[in-house]
């Protein structure tokens, strides 16, 4: 087996067979042995029936069906658990990614790169609906991650098998797989300009909520990558700083009251008293947050947040 292709999908019944035929033609013309995993993320149309039919007709087709819609990250997680080929390709099911890019990406992985991310340099999406938000998102991702990629969220990517087995794709983190790979110790991350085709069937799943969620996830990823394994370094440091600021104001008030008597007001009537009290309370809370975070990390066990309803293997009946 040379290549495993992982395709997450939601309500793409019209494009699935056409996409498989396109992939098979490309693989056969390049003499690749391959398998295709279709991950049905809770489709409500006939997508699973199309996948089942293809699995009966072609030994390369395999399928995983979720009991409901869990999201693209969870679909990729399930696919990554199942693949075995030394090179793994991910792509979308809407026919906007071209399988003809796969051979070049495959050879780059074989020649030593850990991950090759597609770059849709020329896009066919609506300018305001996706193009401009995508540029802003990618700019922010470059600045925060240090990776010089133009298109973090391109669905067409190639990976070493070791990469997909080493990263944990959950929540909405599929947008940041190159960043996850970097944090897992894989630094040979490249980019390849790929074709982007206009959507042929259905409608895009992208909306402004996904754009906003993308930026929130970027902040989460930055925090987790920087302090995820050592929350005390952030919360504890700020907690100690706030506590000493409060303690400093308290010491000032005490010295002033005992030795100088510069103000006839009671300490409780002076603003420094409330600054001191608030700072020490915040400092204590931040320190405790860091301490509890350390305890939780040491006890946490990651489990996938999805439920598989059916699986298909080569010419098998649904499991």
Instruction: Write out pLDDT tens, residues 289-311.
Output: 888 877 776 665 555 667 787 88
Min mean pLDDT across 9-13, 23-27, 260-264, 284-288 is at 260-264
Strands of 189-193's sheet, edge to edge?
Answer: 189-193, 115-119, 157-160, 87-90, 3-9, 34-40, 61-66, 308-312
CATH of region 3-227:
3.90.550.10
Is pLDDT above 90 for 142? no
Q: What is the pLDDT of residue 317?
A: 44
Q: 44 vs 8, 49, 176, CA distance in Å?
A: 14, 11, 27
Q: What is the pTM of this model?
A: 0.73
Q: Would you state the pLDDT for residue 168?
A: 86
Residue that is written with structure tokens 């495959």 in the block: 106
pLDDT given for residue 104 in this prediction: 96
- Over the stretch 222-240, which tens digit does the pLDDT of each residue have? 776 666 667 787 888 888 9
């Amino acid at each position: 087996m040379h290549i495993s292709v992982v395709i997450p999908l939601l309500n793409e019944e019209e494009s699935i067979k056409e996409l498989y035929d396109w992939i098979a033609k490309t693989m056969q013309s390049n003499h690749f042995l391959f398998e295709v995993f279709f991950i049905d993320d809770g489709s409500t149309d006939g997508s699973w029936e199309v996948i089942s039919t293809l699995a009966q007709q072609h030994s390369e087709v395999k399928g995983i069906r979720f009991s409901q819609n869990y999201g693209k990250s969870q679909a990729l997680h399930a696919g990554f658990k199942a693949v075995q080929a030394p090179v793994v390709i991910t792509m979308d099911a809407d026919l906007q990614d071209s399988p003809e890019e796969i051979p070049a990406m495959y050879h780059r992985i074989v020649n030593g790169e850990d991950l090759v991310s597609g770059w849709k340099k020329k896009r066919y999406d609506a300018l305001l609906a996706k193009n401009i938000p995508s540029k802003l998102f990618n700019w922010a991702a470059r600045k925060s991650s240090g990776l010089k990629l133009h298109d973090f969220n391109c669905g067409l990517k190639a990976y070493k098998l070791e990469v997909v087995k080493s990263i944990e794709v959950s929540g909405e983190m599929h947008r940041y797989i190159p960043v996850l790979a970097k944090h897992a110790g894989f630094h040979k991350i490249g980019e390849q300009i790929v074709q982007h085709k206009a959507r042929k069937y259905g409608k895009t799943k992208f909306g402004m909520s996904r754009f906003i969620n993308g930026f929130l996830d970027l902040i989460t990823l930055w925090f987790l990558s920087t302090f995820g394994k050592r929350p005390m370094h952030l919360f504890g440091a700020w907690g100690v700083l706030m506590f000493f600021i409060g303690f400093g104001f308290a010491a000032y008030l005490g010295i002033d009251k005992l030795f100088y008597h510069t103000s006839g007001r009671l300490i409780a009537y002076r603003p420094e008293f409330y600054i001191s009290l608030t700072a020490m309370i915040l400092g204590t809370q931040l320190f405790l947050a860091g301490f509890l975070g350390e305890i939780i990390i040491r006890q946490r066990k990651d489990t996938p947040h999805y439920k598989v309803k059916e699986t298909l293997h080569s010419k098998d009946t649904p499991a």
